[in-house]
């Protein structure tokens, strides 16, 4: 691969990446989307944006947002989501239940998988759906 900024991995290449690896990638993708969303919605200081980002990327929030998009997922996306939810994580943060952490890991795995496939439009579509309530609140 020569373009690490815009990867487009094959099915076989994606299958060789663990669920935890996909979630690791998806964590960064989700964080970038949240930071972009916060910047474009304005009104917060740097410290305020940092606090808001932390609140939006925590496992509880991600699990809640994941529920909004589950009905929209294709069969392949649902399979990746399930694979992420069933990943063997060794530690769960004190503030999240194991179920919430599993849903958050699943969401991150899905976003990592979509990103590595080069499906930016699909990521954006799902992210916008997840953020609808926040759009109405701001």
pLDDT in tens, 59-112: 999 999 999 999 999 999 999 999 999 887 767 667 778 888 899 999 999 999
27 is catalytic: yes
Contact 34, 56 (CB under 8 A): yes
**pTM of the prediction?**
0.90
- Is residue 17 exposed (0-12), middle (13-18) or buried (19+ Cβ within 10 Å)? middle
Catalytic residue among 12, 27, 75, 121: 27
């Amino acid at each position: 691969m020569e373009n690490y900024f815009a990867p487009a991995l094959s099915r076989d290449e994606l299958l060789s990446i663990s669920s935890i690896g996909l979630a690791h990638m998806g964590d960064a993708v989700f964080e970038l989307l949240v930071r972009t969303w916060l910047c474009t919605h304005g009104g917060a200081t740097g410290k305020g944006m940092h606090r808001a980002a932390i609140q939006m990327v925590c496992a509880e929030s991600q699990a809640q947002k994941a529920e909004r998009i589950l009905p929209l997922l294709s069969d392949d996306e649902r399979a990746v989501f399930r694979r992420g939810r069933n990943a063997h994580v060794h530690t769960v943060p004190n503030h999240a239940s194991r179920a919430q952490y599993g849903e958050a890991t699943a969401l991150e795995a899905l976003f990592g998988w979509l990103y590595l496939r080069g499906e930016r439009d699909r990521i954006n579509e799902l992210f916008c759906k997840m953020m609808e309530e926040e759009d109405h609140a701001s």
